[in-house]
């Protein structure tokens, strides 16, 4: 609001007379926009808190359960643990700082830790994607070559493969940081920290190609499994037809491909969760994207890291039973300690009360 005076010259009977009029100009304010941004920042911070808690709690629980599942092969456990650790790394160093960014009004409040987030984005996303590819190959060999599986994927080979994957992804992050002269900055349009290098678009393109290649490989593997299952069923039916008591032909039992189907579902979930972020990453004018859309796409991307555990729990019986057993034992132990503490407190209270009565 601006207040001023306007000089008006009147010519009717009073020459050279001037009247000063008080004028008030109302200027538009941004209070409404600021209030909307404040509400949006609080909502996004709450959404990030829930997402990060789910990522950390469920993936820590997943690591514990994987150590207790006896039905899984050693190589399968190692590959699944690698993917779970990748989810934890992303949760701690990529998604957890987003809570502070939301509370700070979509600004970076952690100073030099911006370099850590930029490093973990370059290292964590490829490590997770490659770990998912390892799990896919593991399940493919188990389904297609069940007799050779234990000889092909030994515990030692699985550990060496995972070690190589994590070394290569860290080398990739190291090379990116060297190209950027060890400098990183906060991107106000992407709401994340990136390296100060001209190859940022190339890095996004490389991550997209990697994700699309994994999806394509898994789809091709799944199609091949379906073809093999169909040919095996036809071969068994032709050589050893199953006949029921009534003399009717019975179809042979289908190939057990549930484990690979589970990985296929995980991959499709990953693809759908990453797709909005990948599309916006290739847009030339990322500043034109609404902050609400950007944050929603990032939360969708982060949700993939905890949805995996839910998919394992629903789809895999051994994983589900091990999880239920662990939760029952943990609850029983906690309740036992609680009851024991209450009993000890009650006994000490009664003892002190009786001793005071005796003294009286």
Taking the domains of the chain in order of start, what are their residue ranges?
Answer: 39-317
Give CB contacts under 8 A, 24+ apart, made by 151-160.
153/73, 153/75, 154/74, 154/75, 155/74, 155/75, 155/78, 157/75, 158/74, 158/75, 158/78, 158/79, 159/78
Band of pLDDT at residue 99, cut at 50, 70 and 90: very high
Top-confidence residue, 91 or 269: 91
Segment 167-195 mean pLDDT: 89
The token pair at 341 is 């503490």
What pTM was estimated for this model as a whole?
0.77
State residue 262's pLDDT score: 81
Top-confidence residue, 265 or 65: 65
Q: What superfamily in CATH does domain 39-317 come from?
A: Rhodopsin 7-helix transmembrane proteins (1.20.1070.10)
Contact 135, 87 (CB under 8 A): no
Top-confidence residue, 341 or 161: 161
State residue 70's pLDDT score: 86
Band of pLDDT at residue 144, cut at 50, 70 and 90: confident
**Selection from 176-190, 248-262, 327-341 with the highest mean pLDDT:** 176-190
SS (H, E, C) 52-73: HHHHHHHHHHHHHHHHHCCCCC
Q: Coil, strand, or helix at residue 288?
A: helix
Secondary structure letter of residue 252 according to DSSP: P
In the predicted structure, residue 26 carries a pLDDT above the cut 50:
no
d(CA 116, CA 184): 9
**How buried is 185 (Cβ within 10 angstroms: 0-12 exposed, 13-18 middle, 19+ buried)?**
middle
In the predicted structure, residue 66 carries a pLDDT above the cut 60:
yes
Secondary structure letter of residue 190 according to DSSP: T
d(CA 147, CA 274): 36
State residue 50's pLDDT score: 97
Q: Provide φ and ψ at 107, rounded to 5°.
A: -125, 155
d(CA 295, CA 233): 48
- Percent of the chain whose predicted confidence (pLDDT) is above 90: 29
Top-confidence residue, 341 or 296: 296
In the predicted structure, residue 69 carries a pLDDT above the cut 80:
yes
In the predicted structure, residue 82 carries a pLDDT above the cut 70:
yes
Contact 113, 136 (CB under 8 A): no
State residue 28's pLDDT score: 47
Segment 67-72 mean pLDDT: 88
In the predicted structure, residue 29 carries a pLDDT above the cut 70:
no
Segment 282-288 mean pLDDT: 62
In the predicted structure, residue 308 carries a pLDDT above the cut 50:
yes
């Amino acid at each position: 609001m601006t207040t001023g005076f306007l000089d008006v010259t009147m010519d009717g009977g009073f020459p050279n007379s001037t009247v000063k009029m008080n004028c008030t100009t109302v200027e538009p304010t941004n209070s409404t926009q600021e209030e909307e941004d404040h509400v949006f920042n609080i909502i996004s911070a709450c959404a990030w808190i829930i997402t990060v808690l789910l990522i950390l709690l469920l993936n820590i629980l997943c690591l514990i359960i994987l150590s207790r599942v006896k039905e899984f092969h050693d190589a399968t456990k190692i590959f699944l643990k690698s993917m779970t650790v990748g989810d934890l790394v992303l949760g701690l160093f990529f998604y957890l700082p987003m809570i502070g960014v939301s509370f700070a009004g979509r600004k970076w409040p952690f100073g030099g830790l911006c370099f850590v987030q930029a490093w973990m984005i370059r290292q964590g996303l490829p490590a997770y994607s490659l770990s998912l590819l390892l799990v896919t190959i593991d399940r493919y060999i188990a389904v297609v070559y069940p007799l050779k599986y234990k000889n092909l994927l030994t515990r030692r080979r699985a550990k060496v493969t995972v070690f190589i994957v994590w070394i290569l992804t860290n080398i990739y992050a190291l090379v990116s940081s060297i190209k950027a002269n060890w400098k990183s900055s906060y991107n106000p349009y992407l709401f994340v920290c990136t390296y100060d290098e001209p190859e940022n678009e190339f890095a996004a393109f490389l991550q997209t190609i990697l994700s699309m290649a994994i999806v394509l490989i898994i789809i091709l593997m799944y199609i091949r499994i379906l073809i093999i299952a169909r040919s095996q069923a036809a071969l068994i039916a032709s050589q050893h037809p199953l006949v029921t008591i009534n003399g009717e032909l019975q179809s042979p039992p289908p190939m057990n491909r549930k484990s690979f189907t589970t990985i296929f579902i995980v991959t499709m979930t990953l693809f759908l969760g990453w797709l909005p972020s990948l599309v916006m990453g290739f847009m030339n004018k990322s500043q034109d994207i609404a902050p609400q859309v950007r944050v929603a796409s990032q939360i969708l991307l982060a949700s993939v890291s905890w949805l995996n555990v839910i998919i394992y729990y629903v789809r895999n019986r051994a994983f589900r039973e091990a999880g239920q057993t662990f939760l029952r034992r943990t609850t029983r132990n906690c309740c036992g300690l609680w009851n024991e503490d209450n009993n000890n407190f009650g006994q000490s209270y009664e003892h002190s009360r009786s001793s005071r009565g005796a003294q009286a």
